[in-house]
Amino acid sequence: MSKAITPADFDVSPPLTVESLVNGGNGLIRYNGQVVFIPKVAVGDVVRFRITHSKKNYAEAQLVEIVLPSCDRREPLCPVADECGGCQWQHLPYHIQAQWKNSLFRDSLIRKCRVSENTILPIIVAPKEFGYRSRVQIKCYNTRDGFITGFYRPKSRYVVSVETCPLISSEMNHTLKALRQLISGSKHADHIPQIDLATDSDGKIAITVHYLGNDKSGLADRIKVLSNHSDVILQMGNKKQRDIIAGDGNLHIAIDNPELRLAYQAGSFAQINLDQNRRMVSIVKTLIPLTGNESVVDLYCGMGNFSLPLARKVKSVIGVEESSSSIKMACSNAKRLGVHNASFICDNAETAIDTIRQTSAVDILVLDPPRNGAYAIAKKIANSDINHIVYVSCDTQTLARDLECLVNNGYELVSSQPLDMFPQTYHCESINYLKKRETFGLSKK
């Protein structure tokens, strides 16, 4: 009989083979009758590991040695990929990453929601596996040897120094290098915990320097030298204390056909993969055969990423977003583009959906929630009179939880389209279309 793992067993394991990958990106090995999860491994790797945490049903381990590498492994492009928490799968060739995302996504929905495997479409891979990120949060730390920029080590606040990140563009990397040189050795370096970089469809770059010190004198002049190429923003303490030092602080994304250019404020939410976002908008627009008479509600609408393209094809759109800056940009975008059938509400999604349904018909509901999903919304609209739901998700586990609520309460999953928005990580975007089981047309009328 195999024994349970105890702290006394927290020594290096014998060589064992990684059996599979799991949600969250770790590899799975069975050891002494228990499942063990290990990061940064490939299926087929023969490894030795040390258990760091032992739970009731599983254990977590640290990779100690790759005794024999798998044929599914490659050398990461980034020299600190094994330390940095930004990427989990850079050691896997991209086609292997896509295969596992596709498989894990399908398995999660089939197992948890009991949907037909025929409803889940093959994953749409990204056109670029590197240099795709349009925005990034750089963590900073000042040392005796200079100003460090990088990303947190997994499950810690230790900043791993990253000279250049392969997930962002060469222009953003050049900007980051210039910022390090400008800030290093200054009196402000101890008080800058984070720098945000963002770029848009035009290649414009926005820099946001977070400053927590009491004396900002000279800092604006120091970083303003980058204003020839970038918008520069100084953020003190919180988002309400923003000084735009150079430029207007606005970026633009290009979507739809004919093209729409949507403005958003640097620091506000926008999808990080602009190429895949354009694909996603196109898919959402064509999921449902529209007549032009539909009323759409777009929850978590941001600057109008789905609302404004959909407004071209339906009677009316109401967008809901809790961020006042995003709603301001959505209204501005609609006015500038001459879209008169879209209105926007700054409110919590849970509150707004109740208010809207009391006064307006909702034919189609679009959801694009953050990673924690929209379970409260799913419960509210279960068995409702909303005929069509388009749920855009960036987290497979919260999606499966929310879809389970809907498919058990009056809705059928028509199609689920996984899409790789985040190469080199385990994260998977998806577009999911549900309709009421008794609904065959766009309206009950």
Instruction: Return the structure tokens found at 125.
Output: 């891979």
Instruction: For residue 318, give the 3-state DSSP assignment.
Output: strand
Q: Work out the angle at residue 238's Cα, subtended by the Cα atoms of residues 329 and 204, and round it to the nearest 5 degrees.
A: 45
* Beta strands 364-367 and 388-393, pairing class: parallel
- Tell me: cis bond preceding 15? Omega within 30 of 0 counts: no
Q: What is the DSSP code (8-state) at residue 124?
A: B
With CA atoms as reference, report the closest residue to 279 among 303, 309, 250. Answer: 309
Looking up tokens 């101890």, which residue turns up? 190
Q: How far, in Å, CA of 202 to CA of 91, rounded?
A: 31
For residue 84, indicate whether it is catalytic.
Answer: no
Q: How far, in Å, CA of 83 to CA of 152, rounded?
A: 9
Q: How far, in Å, CA of 274 to CA of 294, rounded?
A: 28
With CA atoms as reference, report the closest residue to 180 among 147, 206, 208, 222. Answer: 147
Beta carbons within 8 Å of 173's beta carbon, 6+ residues apart: 164, 165
Instruction: For residue 190, give the 3-state DSSP assignment.
Output: helix
Looking up tokens 């891979």, which residue turns up? 125
Looking up tokens 């997994």, which residue turns up? 154
Provide φ and ψ at 127, rounded to 5°: -70, -25
Instruction: For residue 147, give the 3-state DSSP assignment.
Output: strand
Q: Are 207 and 175 in contact (CB under 8 A)?
A: yes
CA dihedral angle for residue 304, residue 308, residue 314, residue 318, rounded to 10 degrees: 30
Tell me which of 87, 113, 301, 394 is the catalytic residue.
394
> Which are the catalytic amino acids?
394
